[in-house]
Amino acid sequence: MAYHLFGTSGYEATTMQMVAETAGVAVQTVYFVFGTKARLLAEVESRMILGDPSLALSGQRPWMAQMHQETDPQRVVALFVEATADVLSRISPFVAAVGPALPSDPESVAARDRGRDEFFGVVIDRLAALRSLRDGLTPSRGVDIIRAVNTVEAYADLTARRGWTVVEWKQWLTDLLCMQLLADR
């Protein structure tokens, strides 16, 4: 509900009263649960990134289970890119709608960065376990490489503004990450 309001009305125009009315609860309930509009926005952002919260809490993402069973490093990267596309397709319109209103305080930015690094670390850890990382590439540098190219801004620029299909974006990112991360075989 709040996602829809923020997405259609924007952050500034969306009031806690509007959120309460849409949810069918008293405005005091919204304040009690979230405290501030900024905190509500942060929670909406988190839900957009994580998708189904029951899966997020249990750690049972289907792509993650597949990736942990996969032994082909290129397929590991492809599974990661597929999961990334799922996240970015959900979050990209939201970020475009609320843009600068996203919390930018150091704590929020650090939490967002930690979440991204953990997400990116999953594929790096799997590739390291398969002994498939390019010679001399540390896991930390591998995460840095993914951070540099796998952003909501790059996704939105290529798919929404430059006319790439999501399939083209996934192929490009898979090829790029395989080239940058994987040892020659």
pLDDT at residue 65 in the model? 87
Over residues 56-75, the pLDDT tens digits come to 443 556 778 898 999 999 99
Task: Identify whether 4 is part of a domain.
Answer: yes
In 3-state terms, what secondary structure has residue 182?
strand
Residues 79 and 163 in one domain: yes
Q: How confident is the model at residue 172 (pLDDT cuts 50, 70, 90)?
A: very high
Residues 86 and 167 in one domain: yes
Above 60 in pLDDT, residue 161? yes
Residue span of the structural domain in which 80 resides: 51-181
**CA triple 29-35-40, angle to 5 deg:** 90
Residues 31 and 55 in one domain: no
Q: How confident is the model at residue 52 (pLDDT cuts 50, 70, 90)?
A: low
Nearest to 40 by CA among 61, 55, 23: 23
**The total number of structural domains that make up the chain:** 2
In 3-state terms, what secondary structure has residue 162?
coil
Residues 23 and 55 in one domain: no
Range with the poorest average pLDDT among 38-52, 135-149, 151-165: 38-52
pLDDT at residue 55 in the model? 46
| pLDDT (mean) for 2-18 | 83
Q: How confident is the model at residue 143 (pLDDT cuts 50, 70, 90)?
A: very high
Report percent pLDDT > 90 for the chain.
52
User: Length of the chain in residues, anyone?
Assistant: 185
Distant-in-sequence, close-in-space partners of 113: CB < 8 Å, separation ≥ 6: none
CATH number, domain at 7? 1.10.10
CA gap 87, 52 in Å, rounded? 11
CA gap 27, 154 in Å, rounded? 37
Distant-in-sequence, close-in-space partners of 45: CB < 8 Å, separation ≥ 6: 91, 94, 102, 103, 112
DSSP assignment of 70-102 equals ---HHHHHHHHHHHHHHHHHHHHHHHHHHGGGS
Q: Are 99 and 37 in contact (CB under 8 A)?
A: no
Above 70 in pLDDT, residue 150? yes
Residues 169 and 80 in one domain: yes
Task: Identify whether 167 is part of a domain.
Answer: yes
pLDDT at residue 50 in the model? 65
Task: Identify whether 104 is part of a domain.
Answer: yes
CA gap 23, 20 in Å, rounded? 5
Task: Identify whether 46 is part of a domain.
Answer: no
Task: Identify whether 154 is part of a domain.
Answer: yes
Residues 26 and 92 in one domain: no
Task: Identify whether 43 is part of a domain.
Answer: no
Range with the poorest average pLDDT among 4-18, 73-87, 88-102, 143-157: 88-102
Distant-in-sequence, close-in-space partners of 112: CB < 8 Å, separation ≥ 6: 45
Residue with tokens 């796998």: 150
pLDDT at residue 58 in the model? 37
Residues 12 and 88 in one domain: no
Above 90 in pLDDT, residue 138? yes
Residues 96 and 60 in one domain: yes
